[in-house]
Amino acid sequence: MSGKKIKATPHARHERAFARFTPGQRWEHALLLLSGLVLLLTGLPQKYREFSISQDLLSTPEQIFLIRQIHHIAAIVLGLEIIYHLGRILFLMGRRSLPGDLLPTMQDVRDAWHMIQYLLFIRGDKPKFGRYNFEQKVTYWFVFFGIAIMSISGLIIWFPVQATQFLPGGVVPAAKLAHSTESVVMLIFIVIWHIYHVHLERINLSMFTGYLSEDEMRVFHEKEYERLARQSGEGK
């Protein structure tokens, strides 16, 4: 026998990946992101015309017409996405298969209070979350109602003659104020809240890849991880 020692090779660790978003949900997010970005880039110069960049973009009637046309096309894309999203919700409700993961509950209030205590060093542990935590639910419903306000006000601005046939004339300037103000609020919310919690606090690409790693599930969605682990154990 040879005197050489055989070195054991350590086994590579294969980390499980958990499905988080379907391809349809990821496409919806991409359309929402792209159309919303175009709407902001073409809408804010019209609101803040005193800025030099706005004056450059809107320097001629032709450029004003082009910016508005791009804005309207992006609004149509967003509108189609909204119709699809609501249609899918109604379809799942009709089949009694609509998940209630995004609905606010009292547990979200308790989790928020728990998190505040953790941030103030009153408690040493973070709350455990299910499929969606209270921050993600706030984001969804804020964007949901924000888009609703902007859609209704945007249609009134786009078709003022038709709108004032059954609504008072003052609704048009009110719609302009609501539309432009809500766009700024949405921008601030997305930049400060959503981008921080999703991309700066931790790099979370699940909306683009569709999956979360086992470590991420265990740390950020512990209740959901435990539920899936129990289901997996039952299936053995």
Asked if residue 6 has pLDDT above 50, the reply is no
Which of 85-89, 93-97, 122-126, 157-161 comes out lowest in average pLDDT? Answer: 93-97
The whole-number average pLDDT for the span 193-200 is: 76
Asked if residue 110 has pLDDT above 90, the reply is yes
Domain presence at residue 31: yes
The pLDDT score that the predictor gives to residue 114 is 96
CA pair distance 61, 48, nearest whole angstrom: 17
Domain presence at residue 107: no
Measured at the CA of 107, the angle between CA 223 and CA 132, to 5 degrees, comes to 50
CA pair distance 194, 137, nearest whole angstrom: 11
Domain presence at residue 66: yes
State the helix-helix crossing angle for 134-158 and 171-189, rounded to 10 degrees. 150
Domain presence at residue 77: yes
Instruction: Record the pTM.
Output: 0.83
Which of 17-26, 74-83, 90-99, 216-225 comes out lowest in average pLDDT? Answer: 90-99
The two structure tokens encoding residue 206: 């699940």
Domain presence at residue 187: no
For residue range 29-87, list pLDDT tens digits in order: 999 999 999 999 999 998 888 888 888 888 889 999 999 999 999 999 999 999 999 99
Which of 6-10, 122-126, 130-134 comes out lowest in average pLDDT? Answer: 6-10
Asked if residue 3 has pLDDT above 60, the reply is no
Whole-number average pLDDT of the chain: 87
The pLDDT score that the predictor gives to residue 95 is 85
The pLDDT score that the predictor gives to residue 128 is 92
The pLDDT score that the predictor gives to residue 14 is 60
pLDDT tier for residue 8 given thresholds of 50, 70 and 90 = very low
CA pair distance 128, 133, nearest whole angstrom: 9
Domain presence at residue 41: yes
Domain presence at residue 161: no
What DSSP assignment string belongs to the chain? ---PPPPPPPPPP---EEE-S-HHHHHHHHHHHHHHHHHHHHHHHHH-TTSHHHHHHTSSHHHHHHHHHHHHHHHHHHHHHHHHHHHHHHHHHHTT----TTS--HHHHHHHHHHHHHHTTS-SSPPP--SS-HHHHHHHHHHHHHHHHHHHHHHHHHSHHHHTTTS-TTHHHHHHHHHHHHHHHHHHHIIIIIHIIIIISS---HHHHSEEEHHHHHHH-HHHHHHHHHHHHHT-
The pLDDT score that the predictor gives to residue 4 is 45
Domain count, the chain: 1
Share of the chain above pLDDT 90, in %: 52
Residue 77 structural domain: 21-101
For residue range 126-173, list pLDDT tens digits in order: 999 999 999 889 989 999 999 999 999 999 999 999 999 999 989 999
The whole-number average pLDDT for the span 91-101 is: 85
Residue 119: what residue type? L
Domain presence at residue 74: yes
